[in-house]
Amino acid sequence: MIWDLHVHVAGVGSQGSGNYLSPAFRRSLACRLFMRQLGLSARALNEPDCDRRIARFIVDQLNASEVDRAVLLAFDAAYRDDGTRDDDRTRMVADNDFVADLASSHNKLLFGASVHPYRRDALTELERLIERGACLVKWLPGAQNIRPDDARCFAFYDALARHRVPLLCHTGGEHTLKAFPDTLNDPRLLAPALERGVTVIAAHCGTSLLLHERSYFRAWKEMALRHERLYGDISAFGVITRIWRLRSMLKTPGLSAKLVYGSDFPVSPMPLSCIGRIQLRRALQLRQVRNPFDQAVQMMRAAGVPQEVFARAEQLLRIPASKKQELAAGMGRVAA
């Protein structure tokens, strides 16, 4: 089985959804690249069925791919320290109910919720979304203004631990949605979550994308080897600045067992940048793979990622009973 626990979706709030993209983000290069990856022009952001078209593309590509299950990630707004929503510094919102509805309608999809812990209704909203089938909670501290070691997060961690819902938290530098300092993405700030019994998946393993940026990889590595419940996802590792980290991670005793697969869709791998870790002929072949989910999987296979990394998410996620039944039925058909 191949599980992708890091798939993004976005929208502009068309057809009554709570999705949102800020005007500044709509004008950004990242947004244009995202739309191109979806086969849409920037003009589609102004069309009344924009959110539906984006969702349809993701579902169609996943259904045509070798990925068996994918976690579609909601994304909460930025909040101020007083618990009020900070619209001025919110770059994107992927509405929880929009994502939950989409996941419930397609058997390959699971719902990844996003709840800001400073919200005045944070615990109530978390409970509601768990009832809706949330398999994890996603944070990006440097975009949402979350300091993970703040005491305001502790009751939230207790609820996550009680329900056995893992936290997928961005670690390392951020570019696309950055609104607050990258120091908020330091994996060491996640220690209180681990101490309170939460399974934490550090997205990107604390690595940096650009060579001049501060890397938190060493901090993540030391913590992952020390904390039983700390993992790291290898989403967006198909680039030259991260692929060599991956090589050392796979060779480090005890560290390969802490890796979980994610694509970070719509981020695309860059096979030609990874020559030296993969062969030139294979890199050229990977560039021709049109399905973005298959391309990401095949890129990581070419880099030596073993099958257990692709399957590990199933052990970590809180899988709703309905999805477990679908999974069991699917496995039965395969066995037959």
How far does Cα 152 stand from its chain's mean position? 23
**What is the helix (H) or strand (E) element at residue 332, kind and residue range?**
helix 321-335
- pLDDT above 70: percentage of residues in the chain: 98
How many angstroms separate the CA atoms of 107 and 52, rounded? 18
Q: Report yes or no: 11 and 19 within 8 Å, Cβ to Cβ.
A: yes
How many angstroms separate the CA atoms of 297 and 66, rounded? 8
**For residue 153, pLDDT beyond 80:** yes
DSSP 64: T
Q: What per-residue string of b and e applies to 11-39 under the rule 16 or more CB within 10 Å gives b?
A: bbebeebebbbbeebbeeeebeebbeebe
What residues contact 232, with CB distance under 8 A and at least 6 apart? 171, 201, 202, 203, 204, 205, 206, 220, 224, 258, 259, 260
Q: CA quadruple 82, 88, 90, 93: dihedral positive or negative?
A: positive
Query: Residue 235 — left, alpha, or beta (φ > 0 → left; ψ -120 to 50 → alpha)?
Result: beta
**For residue 62, pLDDT beyond 90:** yes
Q: What band does 332 get if pLDDT is binned at 50, 70 and 90? A: very low
Q: Report yes or no: 262 and 203 within 8 Å, Cβ to Cβ.
A: yes
Q: How is residue 53 written in tokens? A: 């078209």
Structure confidence by residue, pLDDT tens digits, 113-149: 999 999 999 999 999 999 999 999 999 999 999 999 9
**For residue 212, pLDDT beyond 80:** no
CA angle 248, 294, 232 (to 5 degrees): 35
113: phi then psi, degrees, rounded to nearest 5: -80, 165
Q: How is residue 184 written in tokens? A: 């908020």
Q: What band does 321 get if pLDDT is binned at 50, 70 and 90? A: confident
Q: What is the pTM of this model?
A: 0.95
**For residue 71, pLDDT beyond 80:** yes
Return the pLDDT at 330: 63
**What is the helix (H) or strand (E) element at residue 316, kind and residue range?**
helix 313-316
